[in-house]
């Protein structure tokens, strides 16, 4: 894992374990369950149902359920994903600087990624997965940056121990590469954001305001499932924002309840004393 000051190069599993240990200290409980459904009550509050047939009730709900990358259908790609196949130059660009990099996209988003990666290495090629969608201006820009355009479909990836050595194209050509980046969109890891009625943006992420509030009262979305950059440090910041916002909202709700109870008690007392005086 990169991009998280003081935690550079930590294994994601170790980061999660350390984070959980700290949260437990503050009374947080982790359950090895999948949430299969969540229900909104008319008067506010939620019921959350797990795959272990348990139900939990809550006043507020934070969804930090993440995204799943749509991994291109290329034979062997899963053997290299996360080690020499990536999707984010800001997470993994520095480690492969000056190496041979292939950028793959079946739509125009890959064009920007190819140009971006050309700032990390001068040995970059752009593969369109068999499509031919670039216009004359885009082709000229690639030429200006010395980025070869390959429109033949990619059918296979080969290498050893997670390290890619080359791509095999449909015409049997082999393209030697050290790293491969793709843009192929992503999907929500579960249906909760959608199922609760949160507004979803064009790219499939939940729309929130700067306090992580969605359009559904009481539902907050933090991390990759919400819009904004998909970094661990951003996910953590969004979690902190949602936590403070919820804490303040609960304090305010309690304050209003106490005032209401106080008003009711004062009214009852004055009615009783008026009756006594009669
Ligand atoms: C190959 C790769 C490399 C990356 N490298 C970096 C990097 O170097 N630096 C960086 O900052 N970012 C990196 N990222 C991005 C980073 O992983 C994400 O930004 C980050 O994990 C987002 O955290 P999150 O908590 O929002 O989602 P996630 O980490 O996806 O966590 C979501 C959690 O919710 C759980 N979940 C989902 N649905 C349910 C459900 N219904 N019930 C119960 N649990 C559920 C999932 O099992 C998962 O544990 C990388 C991503 C990939 C794929």
State whether residue 51 is helix, strand or coil: coil
Give residues with Cβ within 8 angstroms of 246, minimum separation 6: 60, 62, 220
Residue 93 Cβ contacting ligand 1 at under 6 Å: no
Burial class (CB in 10 A: 0-12, 13-18, 19+), 269: exposed
Residue nearest to atom 49 of ligand 1 (CA): 65
Residue 227 Cβ contacting ligand 1 at under 6 Å: no
Per-run averaged pLDDT (10 residues), the chain, 278 residues: 96 97 96 97 95 97 97 98 96 96 94 96 97 96 97 97 98 98 95 96 94 98 94 97 98 97 96 90
Give residue 38's pLDDT.
Answer: 97
Ligand 1: centre distance to CA 247 (Å): 24
Residue nearest to atom 10 of ligand 1 (CA): 231
Residue 224 Cβ contacting ligand 1 at under 6 Å: yes
Residue 217 Cβ contacting ligand 1 at under 6 Å: no
The order of strands in the sheet holding 154-160 is 154-160, 163-169, 174-176
Give residue 278's pLDDT.
Answer: 81
Closest ligand 1 atom, residue 232 Cα: 11
Give residues with Cβ within 8 angstroms of 4, minimum separation 6: 10, 15, 231, 232, 233, 236
**Residue-level length of the chain:** 278
Give residue 108's pLDDT.
Answer: 87
Give residue 277's pLDDT.
Answer: 87
Give residue 228's pLDDT.
Answer: 84
């Amino acid at each position: 894992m990169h991009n998280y000051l003081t935690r550079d190069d930590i294994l994601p599993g170790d980061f999660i374990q350390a984070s959980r240990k700290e949260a437990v200290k503050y009374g947080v409980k982790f359950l090895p369950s999948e949430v299969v459904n969540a229900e909104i009550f008319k008067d506010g509050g939620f019921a959350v149902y797990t795959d272990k047939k348990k139900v939990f009730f809550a006043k507020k709900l934070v969804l930090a359920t993440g995204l799943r990358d749509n991994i291109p259908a290329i034979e062997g790609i899963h053997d290299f994903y996360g080690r020499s196949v990536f999707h984010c130059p800001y997470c993994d660009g520095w480690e492969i600087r000056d190496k041979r990099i292939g950028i793959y996209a079946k739509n125009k988003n890959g064009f920007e990624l190819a140009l971006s990666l050309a700032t990390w290495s001068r040995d970059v090629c752009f593969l369109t997965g068999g499509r031919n969608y670039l216009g004359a201006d885009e082709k000229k820009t690639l030429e200006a940056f010395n980025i070869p355009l390959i429109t033949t479909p990619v059918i296979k990836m080969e290498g050893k121990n997670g390290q890619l050595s080359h791509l095999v194209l449909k015409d049997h050509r082999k393209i030697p590469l050290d790293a491969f980046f793709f843009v192929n969109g992503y999907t929500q890891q579960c249906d909760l954001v959608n199922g609760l009625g949160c507004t979803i943006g064009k790219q499939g992420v939940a729309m929130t305001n700067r306090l992580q509030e969605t359009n559904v009262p009481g539902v907050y979305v933090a991390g990759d499932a919400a819009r904004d950059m998909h970094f661990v440090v951003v996910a953590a910041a969004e979690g902190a924002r949602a936590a403070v916002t919820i804490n303040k909202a609960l304090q305010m709700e309690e304050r209003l309840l106490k005032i209401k109870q106080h008003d009711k008690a004062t009214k009852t007392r004055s009615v009783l004393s008026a009756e006594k005086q009669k």
